[in-house]
Amino acid sequence: MNFTWRYTHLDSIPSTNLWLQEEYARGTDIRNLVVTTAYQTAGKGIGHNNWYSEHGKNLLLSLAIDTRIDAAEQFMINMSISLALTDVLKHYLSNHSALYIKWPNDIWYEYKKLSGLLITHIISGNRLDMSIIGIGINVNQTVFPSGLPNPGSIKSASDKHHSLQNIQQHLLQHIETRIVQLHDTEFLHHLKAEYISQLLYFNEFKNYLIRDQAVYAKIVGVNAFGQLEVLDRSGKKYECNFKEIIFPIERQG
């Protein structure tokens, strides 16, 4: 695959993902284009969530890449990018066993949210033609608004200031590796197993709220549609879409 990245940096925009979508709508060739910004005025997370970031302190970017897989397998893109994020964070965080993927789109370290992603697919027929991948990594910010649930950053976890450019370079390298793996049919099973093994609370019984019902259950996997599979003690399986399950939040210290 061709990963000849092109770069655009904007000091302030509403959203890097929306910027790429608007450029695509104008007919701009956005393949392999990486757009970064120091500040997003309307940074988006999944659903109606927002992404808050202080000016210049965190890595905020979106990139557009050829994916060219069946549209029915689009959650594999989410898996690949989530693993790329854990790959890069391992360079900067010492306790790798405390690094988790919180389904469907967050990366947690020691029960604090360090990173999130938002993916928009461009579909041609029954295949993905291109994916626009938005990523936010809390890097050097240490003070967050009181209303945000369990935010954290690389600096708060490592007690060191870090170069956004270095982290971006490592991130793109790991994304390249993971997307190549995605197109290796012999590797797909391993990629999915690796993703599932890194899920927050995987195979641990916890108290969840599933469709407004309290359920004591454990996460056992993710199905082909990206739904989280949860099993209670009686053997009943729940397949949950986003917002259908609320995780318990545990804090250290």
- Those residues with Cβ within 8 angstroms of residue 119's Cβ, 6 or more apart along the chain or in another chain: 77, 78, 81, 105, 131, 132, 133, 134
- Those residues with Cβ within 8 angstroms of residue 61's Cβ, 6 or more apart along the chain or in another chain: 16, 34, 35, 36, 37, 134, 135, 168
- Give the pLDDT score at 201: 97
Q: Where are the domains of the chain?
A: 6-197, 206-246
* Average pLDDT by stretches of 10, the chain with 253 residues: 91 94 96 96 59 88 92 94 98 96 96 95 91 97 88 96 97 96 89 96 97 97 96 97 89 51
* Of 191, 156, 169, residue with least CA distance to 88: 169
* Of 133, 132, 88, residue with least CA distance to 114: 88
- Give the pLDDT score at 253: 44
| Whether 64 contacts 31, CB under 8 Å | yes
Sign of CA dihedral 15, 53, 46, 223: positive
Architecture of the 6-197 domain: 2-Layer Sandwich (3.30)
Amino acid at 210: I
Query: Measured at the alpha carbon of residue 115, what is the angle toward residues 113 and 116, in degrees to the nearest 5?
Result: 105
pTM of the model as a whole: 0.93
